[in-house]
Amino acid sequence: MCIMCVTRNILLKQRRSKIGRSKLSTETDILRTNYHVAKLALFNIRLLNVIQNNQSNEIVELIKSECERNGFSSPPSLLHQGAFLAHAYICVVWLWESVKKARLAQDFLSEFPKTASRFNLSLPPKEKIYGPRNLENWEQVLRLIRNALSHGKVEIDDNYYLLSDQKQSGRFKETEKTCLKLTWEDFGKLSEVCIHALTPTLYPNHSAYAS
């Protein structure tokens, strides 16, 4: 092969490498933006909690007025099933997909157990798991929740969320679904942990314990 051809091949490889790095840099920038959007969603949840616990006449009248305007016979809890479900979708589906595109999944998953421990969140016990899968680590738990949220496989009652997933095609096709039962509190904690587990990777100089 001539010297010019070798040189051209080297330059092409360098260019492709730069394009690859540029794309990853862009995906990381997108992830940072999505991270901040998720934190804004968390702010809304926390604000709703503050308002829920504020019994001043102004707040009570404001909630009552909005309930009447929306056709509710009585004021619902501001932190209802829909609030936690929407926040979980932002964190466990939308944000998680952005993490994978930026190729930071391993960093995120290595930080997740430490962050979960800070929030007193443990892996689901066996009695909360129904079906053939063993959810033995956080990656397996997050995958099931992500798939359940994405495909609308979520049942809700007054105390729990029941999330299910079943692989119905491919080599490892499952004959039955696996269900995971989570309390509202654990569902909310898990969503929040998804945000804070990213902080050390995206902002290494920022305290990992900042909330």
pLDDT tens, residue by residue, 122-144 = 999 999 999 999 999 999 999 99
Least confident residue range of 16-20, 143-147, 154-158? 16-20
- Please check the confidence at residue 23 and state whether its pLDDT lies above 80: no
CA distances from 12 to 4, 22, 48, 127, 188 (A): 12, 15, 54, 56, 48
Percentage of the chain exceeding pLDDT 90: 72
Q: pLDDT tens-digit profile of 58-99? A: 998 999 999 999 999 888 889 999 999 999 999 999 999 999
At 205 the pLDDT is 81
Tell me if residue 9 falls in helix, strand or coil: helix
- Summarize pLDDT for 35-64 with one digit per residue, the tens: 999 999 999 999 999 999 988 999 989 999
Phi, psi values for residue 31, rounded to 5° = -60, -40
Sort strands 129-130 and 178-183 into parallel, antiparallel or unpaired: antiparallel
pLDDT at position 29 is 92
Contacts of residue 107, Cβ cutoff 8 Å, sequence gap at least 6: 200, 201
Tell me the Ramachandran region of residue 53: left when phi exceeds 0, alpha when psi lies from -120 to 50, beta otherwise. alpha
DSSP bridge pairs for 96: none
Q: Which of 24-28, 31-35, 36-40 has the lowest mean pLDDT?
A: 24-28
**Is pLDDT above 80 for 3?**
no
- pLDDT in the model for residue 168: 84
